[in-house]
Structure 1
Amino acid sequence: MELYLDTSDVVAVKALSRIFPLAGVTTNPSIIAVGKKPLEVCFRNFMKRWAVRGVCLPR
């Protein structure tokens, strides 16, 4: 069984990834809207925390 979090909250993912072996994170427009941060900010926060070496962030 693989565990995915359906969220846009980087802090929650960071905390829960210490407890559970997460396979990944998913999200959708309604979850982004509830988080009150623009998609670009959410994407950048996730990439800063879990970016693969060589992946470029949009500016």
Structure 2
Amino acid sequence: MKIKEITNCLECEETSSTCIHYEAYRRFPRSKGGLGLCPKLKDSKGVQEHDINIL
């Protein structure tokens, strides 16, 4: 699974008014320069951080 698919804010049910991490780099995993704060990262069961590709 690709990081862009998981943390794509445009396809998320949250909106800019309800998600404080909307379109911010902090939503990406720490290994990709973010803080891993995207709620969808925590919801993606079975996906480990090392399994996520940047592109």
Q: Which has the larger radius of gyration?
A: 1
Flag whether TM exceeds 0.5 (same fold): no
TM-score norm. by structure 1 comes to 0.26
TM-score norm. by structure 2 comes to 0.26
- Structure that is richer in helix per residue: 1
Question: Whose relative contact order is higher, 1 or 2, with alpha carbons under 8 Å and at least 6 apart?
Answer: 2
